[in-house]
Structure 1
Amino acid sequence: MLTNLNIPFSRNWPLHLMIFVFAVYWGFTAIAPTDRIQWLMESILPVIVVLVLAFTYKVFRFSNASYLLMFIFLCLHTYGAHYTYQGTPFDKWLKASFHSQRSYYDRVVHFTFGLLWAYPFRELLTRAAAQRGFWSFGIPTAVVFSCSACFEIIEMVAAFVAGQHGEEYVGLQGDVFDTQKDMGLGLAGAVISMGILAWYLHGHPTDDNPLKGIEKKLK
Structure 2
Amino acid sequence: MNLKFSRALVWLTLGYMLLFLFSAISPSSRAVWIAEIVPAVFILGTIWWISRQYQFSTTAYVLMFIWLALHTIGAKFTFAEVPFDWFNQLIGSDRNNFDRVAHFSIGLYVYPVAEYLLKVKKVSPSIAMSYALFALMALAAGYEIIEWWYADLAGGDEGIAFLGSQGDIWDAQKDMLMDTLGAICSLVLLAIQRRVFSSIHER
Partners of 1:127 and 1:203 lie apart in 2 by 17
Q: Could you say which residue in structure 1 is the equivalent of 2:44?
A: 50
Partners of 2:154 and 2:181 lie apart in 1 by 30
Would the aligned equivalents of 1:137 and 1:198 in 2 still touch at CA under 8 Å? no
Partners of 1:80 and 1:207 lie apart in 2 by 41
Would the aligned equivalents of 1:155 and 1:166 in 2 still touch at CA under 8 Å? no
Query: Which string of whole-angstrom CA distances, capped at 9 and with x for unpartnered residues, describes residues 31-69 of structure 1?
Result: 011121111111010011112223333233323332222
Deviation at residue 150 of structure 1 after TM alignment: 1.5
Would the aligned equivalents of 2:5 and 2:52 in 1 still touch at CA under 8 Å? no
Deviation at residue 79 of structure 1 after TM alignment: 1.2
Would the aligned equivalents of 1:86 and 1:103 in 2 still touch at CA under 8 Å? yes
Where do residues 113-192 of structure 1 align in structure 2 (5 Å cutoff)?
Answer: 113-114=106-107, 116-164=108-156, 165-192=158-185
Would the aligned equivalents of 1:201 and 1:207 in 2 still touch at CA under 8 Å? no
State yes or no: 1:109 paired with 2:91. Answer: no
Partners of 1:60 and 1:95 lie apart in 2 by 39
Q: Could you say which residue in structure 2 is the equivalent of 1:217?
A: none
Query: Which string of whole-angstrom CA distances, capped at 9 and with x for unpartnered residues, describes residues 94-117 of structure 1?
Result: 556776332111001111221x21
TM-score by length of 1: 0.80
Distance 1:27 1:181, change over 3 A: same
Aligned-residue sequence identity (percent) comes to: 31
Q: Could you say which residue in structure 2 is the equivalent of 1:85?
A: 79
Partners of 2:196 and 2:61 lie apart in 1 by 25
Distance 1:17 1:182, change over 3 A: same
Would the aligned equivalents of 2:36 and 2:75 in 1 still touch at CA under 8 Å? yes
State yes or no: 1:61 paired with 2:55. Answer: yes
Partners of 2:181 and 2:92 lie apart in 1 by 26
Instruction: Between the two structures, name the one with larger relative contact order (CA 8 Å, sep ≥ 6).
Output: 1
Q: Could you say which residue in structure 2 is the equivalent of 1:4?
A: none
Tell me, what secondary structure is at the counterpart of 2:25? coil
**What are the ranges of 5 or more consecutive residues in structure 1 without an aligned counterpart?**
1-7, 209-219
Would the aligned equivalents of 1:76 and 1:109 in 2 still touch at CA under 8 Å? yes
Would the aligned equivalents of 2:111 and 2:186 in 1 still touch at CA under 8 Å? yes
Q: How many residues are aligned here?
A: 199
Partners of 1:65 and 1:206 lie apart in 2 by 19
Partners of 2:55 and 2:18 lie apart in 1 by 23
Q: Could you say which residue in structure 2 is the equivalent of 1:39?
A: 33
Distance 1:34 1:127, change over 3 A: same
RMSD: 2.4
Would the aligned equivalents of 2:66 and 2:105 in 1 still touch at CA under 8 Å? no
Partners of 1:55 and 1:204 lie apart in 2 by 28
Deviation at residue 89 of structure 1 after TM alignment: 0.9
